[in-house]
Every structure is written in C-alpha cells, then in structure tokens.
A and B are shown apart, each in its own frame.
Chain A
Amino acid sequence: MRVIIIGAGEVGYHIAQKLSDEKKDVVLIERDPGKVRRINENLDVQVFQGSGTSPKTLRLAGIQDAKLLVAATDIDEVNLLACLLARSLNQHTVKIARVRSQEYIQEKSLFSKDILGVDLIINTQSMMVNTILGLIDVPGASEVIDFLGGEIKLVSFLILNDSPLAGKKLSDFNMHKEELLIGAIVRGHKILIPSGNDIIHPLDLVYLVIKKSEITQTLKRLNMKAKVTKNIIIVGAGGTGMAVAKALDKPYLNVKIIDNDGRKCKDANLQLKHITVIKGDGADRDLLREENIGDMDMLIAVTGDEESNVLISLLAKELGTKRTITRVSKMSYMHIVSAIGLDTVINPRMSAVRAVLQYLRKGKIISVAPLREEQAEAIEAEALETSDIVNTPLSKVDFPPGVIVGAIVRGDEIIIPRGSTVVLPHDHLIIFAMQQVINKLEGLLTVKLEYF
C-alpha cells in the first residue's frame, strides 16, 4: 500500500515512521534538503525533495497508485492545495489533511466531496482541548481515551503505594462482584498485557476500561479522591490555552489563565467572562505562590515553549499542585517526561498520528489508541459476522500472544470476557494488543474469504 506524506515536520515524520514500521510503502515529500537528508538516514521510506503543491512532484511520488495522502505540513493552505491537486490527479486516493485554522474548519462545505474531497481533517488543537477536558472530567487519571463515542472510557491511573490495588494479583480482585477491567499495565519503560496471574506493583500505570456512568464508583474503589476538579490554572493564553479556557468559562469553576504577553491578556479579558487573567511569567515562583498554586487542583502548561511547560509543571508540583497537564511537542521528550515525575503529558503530534492510525484501521477497526510510546494499542473493533472470532468461545480463538480482549460491549451491557465467553456478531470489542502483533490481529478481525 503506497502512502504519500507531505511535509516531514514532526507530525509527518512520525506518521511516516509508524507506517513504515507497519511495512507500508511510504513516500515523503519535503522541501527542506536538511530534513530530506535526516529522513534518508533514519527512515526506510522514499523521499522526494520538492513541494507538495507541485503536480510534478506528486506524480513523481506516485500519486497515481497511492491509496492514501496525508498532508501534514504546518501551513493549512499548502495542505488544502495538496489535497485539491491529489483529487484531480487520482480520484481514489484517500486524503487526510492537517488543518489548524478554526476558520477553515468551520467551513464544512469546503471539505465536502464537491470541492476538496478531504476524507479526514486533523486538527491537533481541538483534539488536545478534548483530551484536556476529558482529563478534567476524571480526577486522578493521567490519560483518558474515549471509545464508543465516549460511552466507554479507557482511563489510566498511576498506582500509588496506598492504593488498594497495589501488590494484588489481578485474579484476586476480579473475584468480587464488581469487576475491574485492566487492559494494560505500564511498568517503567515496558508495557504489558496482563493475565490473571500478574501482580500490580506500586508505581504501575494501569489502563482500566470503565463505563462512563460508573466512573465515580470506580474511583471510589480505587481510593482516588473523587473530588471534582474545580481550581484550575492555565499557563499560556495561546490557541490551545484559550480554547481550553473558553470551555472552562463557567461560574462554578475557579479558573485562572496566565500569560506574559499583554496583548494576549487583553484578548483573553475580552473573550472570557468568569476567568481571572493574570499577566506575568508562568515560571515565576513568587507569582505562582501569590496565585495560591499549592491549592490548585490542576495546572495546565500550554505555552508555546515546551521546555518551559515541563519546568512550569515541575515547579507547580513542587509547590503542591495536585495534577499537571503538560504540553510537549517533541517526540523525543516523551520517553523521559514521565520519568521526571510529570503525570500527564499531552502531545499534539501524537494526537495527529493517532488520528491517522484510527482512520487507516477503519472498517473492521473503529478506533485505535496507541498507549505509552506506542508499544501497544487499544483497539475498538466490531465483530463481523464472517470473522474468525465470532460464535466460538474466546479460549478457542487463535489470538496471537500479546493480545487480550479487554471488554465486550453488547448493546448497553459491558461484558468482562472470560475464556468461555462467546462473541456475537456486531458486538464491539475493546482489544489490547502489543505493537508487533497488530498486523496479525487485523487479519483475524477481517472477513474470512467466502466461496461464491
């Protein structure tokens, strides 16, 4: 399968890496000779130096037989034009465009079949805002991923020493009536798909599958203080900061937004009703203390400078803030941020990669979420009538190692699967799988060949 990616910035680069790892034929188009050289050295893909808006370059890159085009440059206009050109060069190419400007996104008809024919718009900012809002909803969680349109959530918690789960075998607490569904455990740098015999250690990050309606209950069982997040401080009044602030602009919340830029502060004042706008340096210890940082439930560091974000969050932690959300864009930092004690890190580029993957797996697989450094994925899939997994007990299904069915959703009901559970057609499955076996799993979920 040939995939053309335009723009080898962090987003394009990472999508290319991911797809090339999955043995897809990836062709990158990039303008900057320095980046071209870097890709040639680091990725097993083909690179063409040139503009993604040049029909000649697109033809050279093989648009005629490309299944997918991802326009991932930083410039909306380039991405949109590239999609337009791709549409005229090959009607059948699926087009994914990264669009940042809200104005364009609101013009729904622009992306319709008649004009651009973009199949998927990636807007990292709105994705990030949604992630942040999801995290605010579930106190104590370091990651919240929605499945079935938010009805089921995959929530990750850091297990502390005093947690009731620490030191317990998985099979132990599943004996109780209310079962807990642990799909994956992150321990240090490793991710494991647990079996009943695994023991949860303190400082593990566990991924739970929870129904939306049962979140509060579950949190109680986990000894998490189910206190609503009320006091929030946002550092950075850029696009993301403002979008989050607007969503949190409620009279019953105590939200502050800090920015160094006087003009941005004035804008914020104009646009926000109930939020306190503070002009100052987010990394200023005295300022943070003055604003009662120690009593805040959450600090959201979303300035344009990621190094500052990390330091601001660390500073806030030290001053007593309960939770921090830190925006980090560089992929190479992702490995270390949890090691230095930041609980939640959001990465716009990772969100973009996630969106592309979700789209690619579409059809049999509804939604995908890479977990931790992408060693594993959580997948939502519909059990097709013709696939190998239906109508047999799960223990009889030939799953590759490193795959676990986390939950089965049948209508309103969530079923915790056991070996004897039988999957019925049209059930939705939430599956955890290690990265290496994704391809095999995909095969398992697809339609069996029928004789006709």
Chain B
Amino acid sequence: MNFRLIFYLVAVVVIYLGLSMSLPLFVSLYYNDGSALAIVISMLVTCGLGGIVFFMTRGHHDYYLNHRSGMAIVTMGWIAAGLTATLPYLISGAIPNFTQAYFESMSGFTTTGASILKNIEALPPAMLLWRAQTQWLGGMGIIVLSIAILPFLGIGGMQLYKAETPSPVVDKLTPRISSTAKVLWKIYVIMTMTQIILLLFGGMSLYDSICHSFTTMPTGGFSTKNASVGHYQSIYIDFIIMMFMFLAGINFSLHYKLINGHPRQFFRDPELRVYFGITGIFILLVFLDVYGTIYPRLLDAFRYASFQVVSIITTTGFATADYEKWPDFSQLVLFFCMFLGSMAGSTGGGIKIMRLILLVKHCYQEIFHIIHPHATTIVKLGNNPVSQTIIRSIWGFFLLYVAIFIIGAIALAALGLDVISSLTAMATCLGNVGPGLGSVGPMDNFAGVPIAGQWILIFAMLLGRLEIYTIIVLLIPAFWRK
C-alpha cells in the first residue's frame, strides 16, 4: 500500500475541515459568544498539522489507488476528521472531556445525533453550528467532497467513493466519478437551501433554520434546543422537517433522475415503493396505538406518530414528543425502525431497505427451491438481476450487523447499563439514529454512559456509517499483508 499517498489524501481532508471552521468563526464573531479565539486556534492547529503532513508527503507521480488503500484512506480520514472536530469543543471549553468531545464529533460526522450534552442551549451559538456542520459534512461524505474537488484522482476516486458510500449496487450517475460526486453534492446543497428557506417561512430564525437544515438533510438529528424540534410547537415546522427527512432517506441517484426529467424511473423504483410502504405501515401502527391512549385528538396522534416514525426510520433522530411515555407497542415498533434505515444511496444509516428486500427475496427463493428442487431462479430487483455475489455480501453484512449489535449491547450491559438502555443505545448508535430508549431516550443524553461504553458507541457509530465492511477489513491481518 502507498502510505505516502494515503497520508497525503488524509491531510487534504483535514485541511478542508480546518478551512470549513471559518463558518462557525463567522457566527461566533457575529454573536460575540466568546468562542472566536478557540476556533481560530483550532483552525491554525488543524491547518498547520494538515499542512505539515501535506508538504511532507506531496509530489506523487502515481495516483493509483487500489481497493485496499481506498478503505484505509476513508477509515483514517474519518478518524482524523473526528479528532479535528473535537478541537473547538475542547479549546473553547464547551465540552472539556476528550472522550465526550470525541463522542460528540463522531456522532456529528456519522450523522448519528446522539449527544452527551446535558444542556444544549448553554453552548455558544458557534459551537452548536459547528455540531450541525459536522453532520452536514458527514452526511454526504467528507471524502466524497474531497473527490469532487480533487481532479487528479480519477479511478482512485472511485475506490474512495465506494469505500465511503458503500451501497449494495454501485450507482455511477455520470461517466466521471468526480462529476458524479459534484452532482450529488449539488443536489444536497440545493435541498438544504430549500429547507432553510421553507423553515424561515415558518418563523424560525435564520440561525436555527440553518442549524436544523444542516442536520435534517444528512439525517443527523442534532438540534439547537433541549427539546429538539418539539421546542417550536409548530405543525408547519414539524411538517417541513418531516418532509425533508423523508426526502433525505431517498436514494440520491433517484433525486438526480427526477431532476433530469425521468419521473417514471423515480416512481417505478422498487426500493422507493417499499420505502413508502414500510413507512406508511409503521406510521399507521404507531398512530393506532397512540390515538386515544396518549393523544385524544386524531390530528395530534397522526402528527406525532408520523414525525417520530419518519425521524427514526430515516435514522435522523429528531423528536417532537417524549415517545418513552408512549405505550410499549409503539416503543417496540420504533426500536425496530432503528434497524431498518432508509434507502441505499441516501444519507440515512441502518441496514437499509434495499438489503432487506434482497434478503427477503432470497429467503423466498430458498423456500421455493424446497418446493421445486429443480427450478432455476434468480433474485431480481425491479427488472435487474442481482448476482449471487451481491446477495452473499448482503448476508455477510446482515450477520455482522446483528452480531455487532449483540456483542455491543452485552458489553454495555456489562458496564452497568440496564437492559432497555444497552439494547437501544447500541441499536441507535450502530444505526446512526441518535436517541434510544430508557436512560438514553429522546429527552435524555449519553453523558451517563461510562467512558468505556462511550468508546464502544463511538466505534459502533463509525461501523454503522461506513457500513461495517470498510472498517472491519482493516482489523483483519490479511488486509495488511503485502
């Protein structure tokens, strides 16, 4: 592996992050919240360290990246990005503890949205914006952003793209990978802007609109308020945020097709239909459960049930209600939603609907084979056949996902968390959702989780965001052999 090139590219990512701190710096100066100096120092440290590595490793003749280097760069880039983002928290004293700061920044980049902050509103506005910004950058992928800007990578860019946005089926929208990355970012930016404008119409302040849009589009879920979106008590704001969470859960290549005038391809997409269907069914189940028991008014029941289901299923993690007070049935439904996730190729986490569809189809195929032992069958998604290799890799993913969930939950329980908390904390972090149930519920936080537990959850978030394989292979000795 070409370690020089790996460090070079990681340095590029770190420098970009350092530069991106100018946005919170601007906010800090505007509100005069006292964190400007801390941000300037963070910027200098980040750009300085990044710059040193950059100059030490520059001068490549060959930008060839193989599969393995791609995964190494992405993993190292993410770990480094997490470290970078802790600097403003630590230096400004907003989050003095390193583990907690790293938890917060990883929860940001992985778009999880779990927080260790007890009183969010006590933080300076610049820090809250920085939190939101980490989610916004992490949602579409910090590496993909770099590819969009670095023209020389060529096919190396493809390796990075695949490692960072792993999807069962590679979707290249344009002939060149750098233009694909640009197209995706463009859609992302446009949708974020639209949301900011729509939230402004709802009477939200510009600052809050930006922060909330920055965390909706990546399905992140950080809010600037302790009561999350519930703070605003506005049907309009609930509705806008819910719509955009749902849109962010749709495969971005479908958005691209819709924008390019192929609505048929958009609405005919089999995964999209299942996504609609599953979301609808879960909303209905929760609605029937809470209507009459918690919310006497039909509209209220529907409003809170739909927002919460969409928020969890897209792995955003905003809350408008304390669903821990809901009946057990609703809580269980929401718990399973944490595993589902939205569509492949979206900014959401979880197992993803595409994988579930293929697994179910494959199971059906196996059963069919018992009835007709000599039948030949193939698994199809829409009209496209899906190869056995993909199915195999999805089974592997599924098994790893469940195994990691079980091991993590047991480890958390061993550290002293109760059953509900350890199960949901693990599920919510692995699925990049945010809030869980029990002591880590929507109105609580993760500060009470022991330090060791926080590190387990940080690792889970990273595993979930990079969809397990990218990280796991780095732990296998064969990966490092020449």
Chain A contacts to B: CB under 8 angstroms? 2, 20-21, 23, 25-27, 33, 40-47
Contact = CB atoms under 8 A, between A and B. Distances in A.
Contact of A25 (B154, B175, B387): B175
B177 interface: yes
Contacts of B176: 20, 23, 25, 44-45
B172 interface: yes
A26 B176 CA distance: 8
A27 B155 contact: no
Contacts, number: 35
B155 A43 contact: yes
B170 A26 contact: no
Nearest to B384: A49
Given A27-B175, A40-B158, A44-B154, 19 more contacts: A20-B175, A20-B176, A25-B174, A25-B179, A26-B175, A40-B170, A40-B172, A41-B67, A41-B158, A41-B159, A44-B155, A44-B157, A44-B158, A44-B175, A44-B177, A46-B172, A46-B173, A46-B174, A47-B172
Nearest 8 A-B pairs (CB), nearest first?
A: A25-B175, A46-B175, A44-B155, A44-B154, A46-B172, A44-B177, A26-B175, A45-B175
Contacts of A47: 172
Interface string B347-371: 0000000000000000000000000
Contacts of A45: 175-176
Nearest to B154: A44
Contacts of A40: 158, 170, 172
B211 to A, nearest CB: 36
B109 to A, nearest CB: 27
Contacts of A43: 155
Contacts of A42: 155
A2 B155 contact: no
Nearest to A28: B175
A44 to B, nearest CB: 4
Interface in B173-196: 173-177, 179
Contacts of B170: 40
Contacts of B177: 44
Contacts of A21: 154
A165 B142 CA distance: 56
A26 B157 CA distance: 16
Contacts of B157: 44
B266 to A, nearest CB: 15
19 contacts: A20-B175, A20-B176, A21-B154, A23-B176, A25-B174, A25-B175, A27-B175, A40-B158, A40-B170, A40-B172, A41-B158, A42-B155, A44-B154, A44-B157, A44-B176, A46-B172, A46-B173, A46-B174, A47-B172
A101 to B, nearest CB: 31
A27 B179 CA distance: 14
Contacts of A26: 175
A193 B172 CA distance: 38
A26 B177 CA distance: 11
Nearest to A46: B175
A46 B158 CA distance: 11
A20 B154 contact: yes
Contacts of B155: 42-44
A33 B387 contact: yes
Nearest to B67: A41
Interface string B136-156: 000000000000000000110
Nearest to A21: B154
A12 to B, nearest CB: 14
A402 B154 CA distance: 23
A387 to B, nearest CB: 27
B163 to A, nearest CB: 12
B323 to A, nearest CB: 42
Contacts of A23: 176
A51 to B, nearest CB: 15
A21 B156 CA distance: 12
Given A33-B387, A43-B155, A2 B67 contact: no
A439 to B, nearest CB: 13
Contacts of A44: 154-155, 157-158, 175-177
A300 B144 CA distance: 51
A46 B179 CA distance: 11
A26 B154 CA distance: 13
Nearest to B178: A44
A21 B173 CA distance: 19
Contacts of B158: 40-41, 44
B416 to A, nearest CB: 46
Interface in B442-465: none
A47 B173 CA distance: 10
A420 to B, nearest CB: 35
A33 B179 CA distance: 24
Contacts of A20: 154, 175-176
Nearest to B155: A44
Contacts of A2: 175
Contacts of A41: 67, 158-159
B288 to A, nearest CB: 44
B176 to A, nearest CB: 6
Contacts of A33: 387
Nearest to A33: B387
B40 to A, nearest CB: 39
